[in-house]
């Protein structure tokens, strides 16, 4: 019996052969088919699930590539070795992105729900071996009773980090530390020196961030040819040509969130001794890696000392976090500095805040000047920072004034009897 052919849209997880470029359907597409398609869920829902699973799997591949010990056994064991700790790390990674204002907290919890369903399916298919008990509870959602799977990732032993569900974007920004304090170049240079010891392959990157306001994604996108260095006598400019170079540096990498360049520009770097010294050392380290035949990409300015591969945005963040932990450990005996630096969360973005503080506090630049120097698209970021610094300064001055006034008042009214005579 003849009839018209029927076409329909399907959602697949696919894997790309890096050598041939051919894209193949991945067996894990069965998760979409059995859990979503079979239950007639909308194609949009299927795509959303597939997209989140894809991001999670690419995150795992990136961790393996960066030689993260938690993930290394998956290189041989594959999906069969997947454990809760891997999902917990991904959720914590997304939470970090929330703290940086890159994604919303809603996205983290939505991804967690998808991962819970994915993990349970893997367990039911006997693909993963970890013994996990999935508990359920009844909840009222929009007036209807629904069975909800309790997340196994929300476990103290896993140490999964979660964002605050109700925090606004402004609240998240307010919860972040923006700099090391007004004019605290001593702390900035100490932090860079700690990086020299703990993560020498990104020490120059941290120096560029603090003394040039460069973002993490812009650092890992730098080519060797991106740097215009001063003359040997110190004259001439020190600049970075900030461009989107990920195709040259990461040609086989699909996940580019951590390597994004927000604005292409020529970025000036302060010609301070510590930066010039680190740039010289960095070039020498690259030459040593080249002589040993370890360099995997001749274009990249930042390569791993261990693998010779270009440092990804996530690998940079992991190294930065290691430096931060050691830095805080060193500062712990200094109660005032330690309390200030642990009072709010901070990560790689603090470099831009430190740079901005130098422009505002040490040089007295205006909001428009700071905007140009930072490579911002609008004046709002710089204006907000300057206003915040002004309020902070005025508050500190007000506290001193009130304190002096109180001391004066105490001298005049030393007892309750003094007041009664009024």
Q: How many angstroms separate the Cα of 330 from the Cα of each of 90, 178, 326, 350, 351?
A: 29, 20, 6, 19, 19
Domain extent for 337: 185-387
User: What pLDDT score was predicted for residue 42?
Assistant: 65
Question: What does the pLDDT read at residue 37?
Answer: 61
Backbone angles phi, psi at 199, to 5 degrees: -150, 70
How many domains, in total, are found in the chain? Answer: 2
268 and 379 both lie in a single domain: yes
Locate 25 and state its tokens. 């359907």
- Shared-domain flag, residues 193 and 114: no
Kindly write down the DSSP assignment for every residue of 217-276, as one continuous string.
HHHHT-BGGGEEPPPTTS-S--EEEE---HHHH-TT----GGG--SS-EEEE----HHHH
Residue appearing with tokens 């642990």: 342
Distances (CA, A) of 254 to 125, 216, 233, 240, 251: 28, 18, 43, 25, 8
Half-sphere exposure of 347 (CA within 13 A, CB side): 20
User: Is there a single domain that holds both residue 269 and residue 237?
Assistant: yes
CATH label of the domain that carries residue 256: 1.10.443.10
In the block, which residue shows the tokens 């699930």?
Answer: 49
Question: Are 252 and 103 found together in one domain?
Answer: no
* Structure tokens, 190: 């100490």
- H or E segment to which residue 381 belongs: helix 380-412
Taking residue 256's Cβ as centre, other Cβ atoms within 10 Å add up to: 17
Q: What pLDDT sits at residue 144?
A: 74
pLDDT of residue 194: 96
| Residue 9 placed within a domain | no
Closest C-alpha to 191, from 299, 325, 27: 325
pTM: 0.62
pLDDT digits (tens, 9 = 90+) for 227-281: 999 888 878 889 999 999 988 998 877 656 677 888 888 999 999 999 999 999 9
pLDDT in tens, 94-146: 998 888 778 888 899 999 999 999 999 999 999 998 888 888 777 776 677 77
Q: Is residue 8 part of a domain?
A: no
Are 68 and 209 contained in the same domain?
no
Task: Write down the residue that tokens 């056994």 correspond to.
Answer: 73
* Dihedral angle computed from the Cα positions of residues 102, 103, 104 and 108, in that order, rounded to the nearest 10 degrees: -130
Residue 393 in tokens: 């300064």
For residue 267, what are the contacts with CB-CB under 8 A and spacing of at least 6? 212, 213, 214, 218, 239, 240, 242, 375
CA 156 → CA 88, 129, 136, distances in Å? 11, 21, 19
Identify which of 229, 206, 305, 258 has the alpha carbon closest to the alpha carbon of residue 62.
258
- CA nearest neighbour of 301 among 290, 312, 286: 286
| pLDDT < 50 regions, the chain | 1, 395, 398-399, 402-403, 405-406, 409-410, 412-420, 422
**Would you say residue 115 lies in a domain?**
yes
Are 211 and 337 within one domain? yes
Same domain, 242 and 155: no
> 139 with 268, same domain?
no
Widest CA span in the chain: 111
């Amino acid at each position: 019996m003849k009839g018209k052919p029927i076409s329909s849209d399907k959602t697949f997880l696919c894997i790309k052969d890096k050598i041939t470029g051919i894209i193949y359907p991945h067996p894990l597409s069965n998760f979409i088919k059995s859990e979503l398609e079979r239950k007639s869920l909308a194609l949009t829902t299927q795509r959303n699930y597939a997209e989140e699973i894809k991001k999670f799997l690419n995150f795992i591949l990136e961790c393996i590539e960066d030689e993260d010990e938690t993930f290394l056994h998956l290189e041989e064991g594959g999906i069969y070795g997947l454990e809760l700790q891997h999902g917990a790390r991904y959720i914590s990674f997304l939470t970090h992105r929330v703290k940086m204002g890159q994604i919303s907290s809603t996205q983290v919890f939505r991804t967690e729900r998808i991962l819970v369903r994915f993990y349970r399916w893997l367990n039911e298919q006997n693909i993963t071996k970890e013994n996990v008990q999935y508990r359920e509870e009844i909840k009222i959602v929009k007036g209807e009773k629904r069975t909800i799977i309790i997340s196994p990732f929300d476990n103290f032993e896993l140490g999964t980090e979660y964002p605050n569900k109700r925090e606004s974007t402004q609240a998240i920004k307010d919860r972040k530390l923006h700099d090391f304090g007004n004019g605290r170049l001593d702390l900035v240079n100490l932090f860079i020196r700690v990086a020299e010891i703990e993560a020498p392959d990104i020490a120059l990157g941290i120096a560029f961030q603090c003394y040039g306001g460069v973002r993490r994604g812009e650092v890992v996108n730098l080519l060797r040819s991106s740097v215009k260095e001063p003359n040997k006598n110190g004259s001439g400019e020190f600049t970075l040509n900030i461009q989107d170079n990920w195709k040259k540096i990461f040609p086989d990498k699909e996940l580019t969130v951590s390597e994004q360049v927000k604005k292409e520009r020529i970025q000036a770097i302060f010609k301070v001794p510590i930066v010039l010294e680190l740039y010289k050392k960095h070039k020498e380290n690259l030459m040593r890696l080249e002589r040993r035949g370890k360099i995997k990409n001749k274009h990249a300015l930042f390569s791993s000392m261990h693998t010779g591969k270009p440092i990804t945005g996530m690998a940079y963040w992991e190294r930065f976090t290691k430096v931060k932990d050691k830095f805080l450990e060193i500062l712990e005996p200094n109660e005032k500095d330690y309390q200030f630096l642990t009072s709010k969360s901070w990560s790689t973005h603090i470099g831009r805040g430190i740079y901005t503080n130098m422009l505002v506090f040490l040089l007295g630049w205006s909001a428009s000047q700071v905007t140009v120097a930072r490579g911002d698209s609008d004046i709002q970021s710089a204006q907000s920072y300057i206003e915040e610094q002004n309020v902070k300064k005025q508050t500190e001055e007000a506290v001193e004034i009130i304190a002096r006034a109180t001391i004066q008042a105490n001298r005049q009214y030393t007892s309750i009897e003094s007041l009664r005579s009024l």
